Amino acid sequence: MEVKQLPTTQINQHLDEWHTSLSVWAEDCRSWYKGNKTKGRVYIWPGTILHLLKTLRTPRYEHYEMRYLDENMWSFLGNGRTKLETMGENDTSVDIAPYIRNQDVWWSPDPSKASL
């Protein structure tokens, strides 16, 4: 993944606008946040910590260029079998239908996480 240039440019513009009009760093003072300059740029989140956490919760994948490990982006699907199925085919006792259960509990088709 590589961040596209346009979102990078625009977040920097937003940071500059926000910090020069809405933050305490809009004042004409020296701060290490501003590189010890009265007109220095501030490179911190433009809002509260709750605002930051809420924003980071949902990635914006459209802001990135994606490069795949293989020419065919779908090669990660492999041979169409899960590790659980392969283990069962190799005479290991496994539950190949973990989604069938008597109560609503967490399940996973990954045998290493089956006990969660």
Q: ∠ CA 77-89-91 to the nearest 5 degrees?
A: 145
From the number of C-beta atoms within 10 Å of its C-beta (0-12, 13-18, 19+), residue 14 rates as exposed
CA distance 70 to 48: 40
CA distance 26 to 19: 6
pLDDT of residue 116: 43
pLDDT tens digit sequence for 6-48: 999 999 999 999 998 998 888 888 888 888 888 888 889 999 9
The residue-averaged pLDDT of 87-93 equals 86
Q: What is the pTM of this model?
A: 0.60
Q: Which residues contact 85 (CB under 8 A, 6 or more apart)?
A: 96
Q: ∠ CA 18-34-10 to the nearest 5 degrees?
A: 35
Q: C-alpha dihedral over 30, 39, 21, 15, to 10 degrees?
A: -100
The percentage of the chain sitting over the pLDDT mark of 90, rounded to a whole number, equals 45
